[in-house]
A and B are shown apart, each in its own frame.
Chain A
Amino acid sequence: MSESLVHIDGLKKHFIQNSGLVNRLLGNTQTVRAVDGVSFDINRGETFGLVGESGSGKSTTARALVRLDEPTEGEVRFDGEEMGSLSDSEMKALRRRVQMVFQDPASSLNRRKTVSQLIKQPMKTHDLHKGNREERVDELLETVGLSPEFSNRYPHEFSGGQQQRIGIARALSVEPELLVCDEPVSALDVSIQAQILNLLNDLQTEFDLTILFIAHDLSVIRHVCDRVAVMYLGEIMEIGPTEELFANPKNPYTMSLLRSIPEVDPSLEVERESLEGEVPSPINPPSGCSFHTRCPQATEECAATDPALAAIDGSGETHFSACHYVSDFEDGLGIPIEEDREDRYGTVTFKRRTS
């Protein structure tokens, strides 16, 4: 059942800063370790979440996966094939199978092209649906909840939510197997976010999609992902089935993240706990565990040795955490699910009273 579609092993992506000739001659270059040894699998048909603060390396991981950036080290296998070893034509064939949805829909759509042209472009590139591309555009627009009448309009004539729908239709036009969504709702208005999340959910079922979902918002991750990996400074701190990880987190960073979320309910008397300090620079990451400079539980050992990502006892090799003190954390340190939460505002009726 859980057949692996993407296999990432020891992925590293380093960027060189000050890479001009003079700086190189003087030895002034600096290495930014954006992704520093990341391994995980994405199973066919699941939604896999990558969550972390800015600079944690989640987007860089995704870019390496779709080969927008060449990894510095490590392998990325898609459906068994190592991407780095593919020829150009094999790579092109593979690109059809992996499509991306970006954060800012306005800047990811060419504003000089009509919706129809935008959605047709990937079909042309991959030489698909010759002869019936018009019908295909109409069909795709309907699939994402837009009227086919709009196909001759330009992106600026649409709202942010509609633009994101166009971006999704474009990604779907070549029938991909993997959809990489990089913060697909964070640029949208609150009332629109739920529409797009529901749409992605429907499309996944309809087209049997595998989704890599990148977000900084843990509430969104909990709603949409089957499994999730928490990243910090280019490394995975914890990875596991979403519910397990949210209810029983086994890494102090995950716990701190969960407690820093502002919850939409003043009656919850949870004190938002502030994590001290800031994310250190990836140019000069801390020794040992990268989180030890901010971790409330850190000891000398944490500064000395970097803990490996290890399976939690009893999780059946599904839940992993990188912390020396993982066995100190009992279950239930996370945020529980409350059953009737959705019905909270369900009882009010709006009726005109006759006076």
Chain B
Amino acid sequence: MTDTILHVDDLTTHFETEQGTVKAVDGVSFELNAGETLGVVGESGSGKSVTAMTMMGLIGSAGNVKRGSVRFGGEDLLEKPESELQKIRGTRIAMVFQDPMTSLNPTQTIGKQITRVIRTHQDHSKAEAKAKTVDLMEQVGIPEAESRVDNYPHQFSGGMRQRALIAMAISCEPDVLIADEPTTALDVTIESQIFDLLDDLQEEYDMSILLITHDLGVVAGTCDRVNVMYAGRIVEKGSREEIFTDPRHPYTRGLLRSIPQLRSAATRLMPIEGDVPNPASLPSGCSFNPRCPHAEAECSQYDPELRSVTQSQEAACLLAEGYGGTPATEEPEAAARTGGGDR
């Protein structure tokens, strides 16, 4: 039942900047199961988008993919040459980005752009591809598709542009859809339409969705499982129910508490104090320790790895309930070297 379709292991991507090495993604591992929606949630700079870009081989020369593997269909995507990757992107794994305007070519009609995606990856005549384009546009809920194929992106609203991009993404019936903040630029009423659409498409094509977002409300409404990221690491993993009802990592818990909830009357909110750390100079030990209300001395010395806290939930916090195998017997400094990786 839980077939793993994508297996990410120890993914590590660094960027060299003037301020030093930015460990944008630092040892991220997770599985994406067939047919599920996995949420990756985190604030800006947490590494969630870089994780997705690395998986798809889209990091380019600025970044340095230091190690890790992305197993998909028995092969490691990171080992593949660009030509083969290009074939996989858009046929078996597709991607939808945040800002639909910058993902579209403003000088070409929407129809032409969708048709080109179809003809790049599939063997269709021009006429067939055009007919398929109209079908797809109807399927993603673009009204009057027949006439709107000839519209340019600026003639579409933000919601309709995102639908057009989704049409491209599903044109080859991919196994995996990576959606990076697909609704962040849209109004709430349009956002819920887009998630309804993704839900229907997921069922129809039996897709797995990797949903990257900063919005915990979106995660609560759409995801089966959740990875919470902070400063380039996954700090907590669990099912949607576990994350939202029994968060074990202080960061997850802090985030949930800090959000103004619709049903709460409290006028005082409970923020996480301090600021998101500068990725070029992360604090020693656990990256969250300077902001953590529970931090103890060892938290600034020892960088905890992700470990099981229940049968299905994992957290990277020495103090988390259920966090096993304490390093209490080790010298804190030695522990920092062995357990904390190269940080």
Contacts and interface: CB of A to CB of B under 8 A. Distances in A.
Interface of A: 53-54, 159, 161-162, 189-195, 197-198, 201, 216-220, 222-224, 243, 256-258, 260-267, 272-276, 278-279, 335-339, 341-342, 344-345, 348-355
A193 B328 CA distance: 36
A1 B322 CA distance: 54
Given A190-B255, A220-B260, A265-B220, A195 B271 contact: yes
Interface stretch (B28-36, B132-140, B174-182, B186-194): B186-194
A5 B218 CA distance: 38
A142 to B, nearest CB: 17
Given A53-B187, A263-B217, A354-B328, A272 B275 contact: no
5 contacts: A190-B258, A198-B271, A262-B215, A342-B261, A342-B264
Contact of A264 (B43, B216, B246, B269): B216
A274 B189 CA distance: 6
B259 A260 contact: no
Contact of A262 (B191, B240, B250): B191
B260 A222 contact: yes
Contacts of A216: 187-188
Contacts of A261: 188, 217, 262
Contacts of A191: 43, 254-255, 258, 271-272, 276, 291
In terms of DSSP, what is the predominant structure of the interface of chain A?
Answer: loop
Given A195-B271, A262-B220, A353-B326, A190 B189 contact: no
A343 to B, nearest CB: 10
Counting chain A CB atoms within 10 Å of each CB, the highest count among B43, B257, B262 belongs to: B262
Contact of A266 (B189, B190, B221, B273): B221
Interface residues of B, number: 63
Contacts of A276: 193
Contacts of B298: 352
B221 A275 contact: no
B328 to A, nearest CB: 6
A351 B267 contact: no
A263 B326 contact: no
A349 B250 CA distance: 10
Given A161-B275, A335-B262, A350-B250, A345 B257 contact: yes
B142 to A, nearest CB: 11
A350 B317 contact: yes
A341 B253 CA distance: 14
A159 B255 CA distance: 18
B319 interface: yes
Given A191-B258, A273-B192, A267 B217 contact: no
B263 A338 contact: yes
B195 interface: yes
A219 B261 contact: yes
Interface in B244-299: 244-248, 250, 253-273, 275-276, 291, 294, 296, 298
Contacts of A217: 260
A342 B220 contact: no
B48 interface: no
Given A53-B187, A342-B264, A262 B218 contact: yes
A256 B191 CA distance: 13
B255 A341 contact: no
Contacts of B191: 260, 262
Interface in B114-165: 157, 159-160
Give the residue among A189, A193, A261, A338 with the most B Cβ atoms within 10 A: A189
B44 interface: yes
Nearest to B41: A190
B296 to A, nearest CB: 6
Given A341-B265, A349-B321, 6 more contacts: A198-B268, A201-B267, A218-B262, A220-B260, A274-B189, A338-B263
A190 B192 contact: no
B269 A262 contact: no
Nearest to A294: B189
A8 B190 CA distance: 30
B333 interface: no
Given A189-B44, A224-B267, A264 B250 contact: no
Contact of B190 (A278, A351, A352, A353): A278
A219 B260 CA distance: 6
Nearest to B194: A274
B82 interface: no
A270 to B, nearest CB: 9
A53 B188 contact: yes
A337 B263 contact: yes
B138 to A, nearest CB: 16
A339 B264 CA distance: 7
A275 B187 CA distance: 11
Given A219-B261, A352-B318, A355-B326, A264 B244 contact: yes
B241 interface: yes
Contacts of A351: 319
Contacts of B160: 278
Interface in B22-55: 43-44
A7 B308 CA distance: 59
B216 A190 contact: yes
**Listed residue (A198, A272, A276, A336) with the most chain B CB atoms within 10 angstroms of its CB:** A272
5 pairs of A and B residues whose beta carbons are closest in the complex = A262-B217, A194-B271, A194-B269, A350-B294, A350-B319
Contacts of A219: 259-262
Given A53-B187, A262-B217, A278-B190, A162 B275 contact: yes
A355 B189 contact: no
B80 to A, nearest CB: 35
Contacts of A262: 188, 191-192, 215, 217-218, 220-221
Contacts of B260: 193-194, 197, 217, 219-220, 222-223
A262 B159 CA distance: 17
Contacts of B195: 272
Contacts of B269: 194, 197-198, 223
A222 B262 contact: yes
B320 interface: yes
Q: Count chain A CB atoms within 10 A of each CB in B157, B192, B220, B247 and give the residue with the most.
A: B192
